[in-house]
């Protein structure tokens, strides 16, 4: 559009339309619901927060869980990342594969499965050790969240450790640092900003976690579950709004910290020369300690899936272990919800990826009024707990002028805009790698901006688009927190019914449905890998 390229009218027009649509959508579907949540409670409601002992207790619980689960997840994530990138521990590849599984699974699944495995009637606790353990409460939640979220930390820190120039460690080794000294003086200090970044990212997810606490935290309320109780039990929307604001504030603060503070303190070095890296032999005690930790945690991850599968095939969990297929037959009565889940998530995943790519393209390539706004608002959903966005939508779009109560549209829209940030960041990343000199070269050779867009930029952005599509689809089909406030019998999706089945004690049915959900999301993943191969970088955090 600038310097030297031929302007074509159709391109200019579509650009203006695109900018308008993006800006308007972000205003209506991201900003407006946020503002509405803040406006809904009366001033008095806010003042009452401090006096409300239960709110304060809940806030405290949430913060405690955030500290506990974030620490343990980050610690385990680092152990995994270090083992995978820096050691010759056997089974590294398998550990990596296993630890990535939870990323593609519904968030409540870990808690659900652990109730079956380690709860009062747990297959392992009661069945094998004959112990009656009460897993409900903060301990169970801690365990579930640790297993659910350490993969996030792992993924971030794997990237960080990989991008630390091996030359630095070689230099340290050459100058006399070995074993733990090398780790203490070089490797860890260099990874520290990455560790902080990973911890903050995990903290946001732990705070926002709704699926695990709703299932396993029992009488230990956290902000997300308490907000749900306010509405479910007392129809107290103002109370729910206030709780979700209490949830938003720390997570938004962490989000800002993560983005603007840690982002700048990275030691990641990019050098031209890629040296062949030989992994140094790890000393035996260290090696087997790491192996032990990784094996134990991997086993805990695998147990999640084992529990679900067994749960889906036995007659009565805890008292009747005979095999049955009846739960899968009963699922057919739920086919409506399954079809809804599939169609909503497909539409939402595709639209979300498309929206994110267009926004990323405009922001990184064009100068326009409100460009900064688009950039910020497209990333913002990453900081919004699903609960918060859900409440925002239920306040904003269930009454005139826009009454979408009980409609498919409200679910799909919430899924779209909750997911734009991952796709947007992938898109920005991809476009940053495409040097503007491609454009200059093309326009220098006489291509119009429309042709440049069509023939150079679209092909280059195809791969990130597909990964954004797949990731958004999986996130949409497995989400519970966003849709829980928007669901009615007319638009309920699978995750919503699974939650209800678990709370009503129908474990077999819930497990069978969760298995189906897992099959769908792993198939989506498999298909993406099959068709796009290595081009698709999923969950690059």
Partner 1 sequence: MEHAHVAIRNVSKKFGSFKALDSVSLEIAQGSFTTLLGPSGCGKTTLLRSIAGFYQIDDGEIRIDDRVINNVPSHLRNAIMVFQDYALFPHMTIKENITYGLRIRKMPLDEIEKRLTKTIQYLDIGMLLDRMPGQISGGQQQRVALARALIMEPEVLLLDEPLSNLDANLRNSIRAELRQLQQRLRITTIYVTHDQSEALAMSDSIAVLSAGKIMQVGSPAEIYYHPANKFVASFVGTVNFIEGAVVGADDMYLRMESKGAQILVDARKFDDAARRTFEQSKKVLLVVRPESMKIVDSSASGDASNVFEGEVDHFIFEGSAIRYWLRALGSMIILDAFDPGETGIRSGAVKFRIDPSKVHLIAL
Binding site for partner 1 (CB under 8 A): 165, 167-168, 170-178, 181, 185-186, 189-190, 192, 267, 269, 271-273, 275-276, 278
What is the full DSSP assignment across 229-270? HHHHHH--HHHHHHHHHHHHHHHHHHHHIIIIIGGG------
Question: Of 376, 128, 144, 350, whose CA–CA distance to 252 is shortest?
Answer: 376
What is the full DSSP assignment across 353-365? HHHHHHHHHHHHH
Residue 271 or 332: the one with the smaller Cβ distance to partner 1 is 271
Residue 13 or 185: the one with the smaller Cβ distance to partner 1 is 185
- Give the span between the Cα atoms of 409 and 417, in whole angstroms: 12
Least separation in angstroms between residue 541's CB and partner 1 is 23
Least separation in angstroms between residue 196's CB and partner 1 is 13
Least separation in angstroms between residue 103's CB and partner 1 is 30
Least separation in angstroms between residue 175's CB and partner 1 is 3
> What is the three-class DSSP state of 316?
strand
Residue 5 or 187: the one with the smaller Cβ distance to partner 1 is 187
Least separation in angstroms between residue 271's CB and partner 1 is 4
Per-residue tokens: 504? 């009503």
Helix ranges restricted to H, 269-283: none
Residue 269 or 432: the one with the smaller Cβ distance to partner 1 is 269
- Give the span between the Cα atoms of 157 and 461, in whole angstroms: 26
Least separation in angstroms between residue 173's CB and partner 1 is 5
> What is the three-class DSSP state of 403?
strand
Q: Cα angle vertex 429, ends 428, 431, to 5°?
A: 65
Residue 268 or 293: the one with the smaller Cβ distance to partner 1 is 268
Residues 275-312 as b/e (b if ≥16 CB within 10 A, e otherwise) read: eeeeeeebeeeebeebbebbbebbebbebbbbbbbbbb
What DSSP element (H or E) covers 53?
helix 53-86
Per-residue tokens: 132? 């009656």
Residue 28 or 177: the one with the smaller Cβ distance to partner 1 is 177
- Give the span between the Cα atoms of 412 and 390, in whole angstroms: 12
Residue 286 or 409: the one with the smaller Cβ distance to partner 1 is 286
Residue 177 or 310: the one with the smaller Cβ distance to partner 1 is 177
Residue 1 · residue 7 · CB < 8 Å: yes
Least separation in angstroms between residue 282's CB and partner 1 is 14
- Give the span between the Cα atoms of 85 and 157, in whole angstroms: 10
* Token pair 């050790």: residue: 129
Least separation in angstroms between residue 436's CB and partner 1 is 25
- Give the span between the Cα atoms of 161 and 82, in whole angstroms: 7
- Give the span between the Cα atoms of 405 and 428, in whole angstroms: 34
Please state the separation of Cα 277 from the chain's center in Å.
32
Least separation in angstroms between residue 529's CB and partner 1 is 25
Least separation in angstroms between residue 183's CB and partner 1 is 13
Residue 179 or 292: the one with the smaller Cβ distance to partner 1 is 179
Residue 165 or 487: the one with the smaller Cβ distance to partner 1 is 165
């Amino acid at each position: 559009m600038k310097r030297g390229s031929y302007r074509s009218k159709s391109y200019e027009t579509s650009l203006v339309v695109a900018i308008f649509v993006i800006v308007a959508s972000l205003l209506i579907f991201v900003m407006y619901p946020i503002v509405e949540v803040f406006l809904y409670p009366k001033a008095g409601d806010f003042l009452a927060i401090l006096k409300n002992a239960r709110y304060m207790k809940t806030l405290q619980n949430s913060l405690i869980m955030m500290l506990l689960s974030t620490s343990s997840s980050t610690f385990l994530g680092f152990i995994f990342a270090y083992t995978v990138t820096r050691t010759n521990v056997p089974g590294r590849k398998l550990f990596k594969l296993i630890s990535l599984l939870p990323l593609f699974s519904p968030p409540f699944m870990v808690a659900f499965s652990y109730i079956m495995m380690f709860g009062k009637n747990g297959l392992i606790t009661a069945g094998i050790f004959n112990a009656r353990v009460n897993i409900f409460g903060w301990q169970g939640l801690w365990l579930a969240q640790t297993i659910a979220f350490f993969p996030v930390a792992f993924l971030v820190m794997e990237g960080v450790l990989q991008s630390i120039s091996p030359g630095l460690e070689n230099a340290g080794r050459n100058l006399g640092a070995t074993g733990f000294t090398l780790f203490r003086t070089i490797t860890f200090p260099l990874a520290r900003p990455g560790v902080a970044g990973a911890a903050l990212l995990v903290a946001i997810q732990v705070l926002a976690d709704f699926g695990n606490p709703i299932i396993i935290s029992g009488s230990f309320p956290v902000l997300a579950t308490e907000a749900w109780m306010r509405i479910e039990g007392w129809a107290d929307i103002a109370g729910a709004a206030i709780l979700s604001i209490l949830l938003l504030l720390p997570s938004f603060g962490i989000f800002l910290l993560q983005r603007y503070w840690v982002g700048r303190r990275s030691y990641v070095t990019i050098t031209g020369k890629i040296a062949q890296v030989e992994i140094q032999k790890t000393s035996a005690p260290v090696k087997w300690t790491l192996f032990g930790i990784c094996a134990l945690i991997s086993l805990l991850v695998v147990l999640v899936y084992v529990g679900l599968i067994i749960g889906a095939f036995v007659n009565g969990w805890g008292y009747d272990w005979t095999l049955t297929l009846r739960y899968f037959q009963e699922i057919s009565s739920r086919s409506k919800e399954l079809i809804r889940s599939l169609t909503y998530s497909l539409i939402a995943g595709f639209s979300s990826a498309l929206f994110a790519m267009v926004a990323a393209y405009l922001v990184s390539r064009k100068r326009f009024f409100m460009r900064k706004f688009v950039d910020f608002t497209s990333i913002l959903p990453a900081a919004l707990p699903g609960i918060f966005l859900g409440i925002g939508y239920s306040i904003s779009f269930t009454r005139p002028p826009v009454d979408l109560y009980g409609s498919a549209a409200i679910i799909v829209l919430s899924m779209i805009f909750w997911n734009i940030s991952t796709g947007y960041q992938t898109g920005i990343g991809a476009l940053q790698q495409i040097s503007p000199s491609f454009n200059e070269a093309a326009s220098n050779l006489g291509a119009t901006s429309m042709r440049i867009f069509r023939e150079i930029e679209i092909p280059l952005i195809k791969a990130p688009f597909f990964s954004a599509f797949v990731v958004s689809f999986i996130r949409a089909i497995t989400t519970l927190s966003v849709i829980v406030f928007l669901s009615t019998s007319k638009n309920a999706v699978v995750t919503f019914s699974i939650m209800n089945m678990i709370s009503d004690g129908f474990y077999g049915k819930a497990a069978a449905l969760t298995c189906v959900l897992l099959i769908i999301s792993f198939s989506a993943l498999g298909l993406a890998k099959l068709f796009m191969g290595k081009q698709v970088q999923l969950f690059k955090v």
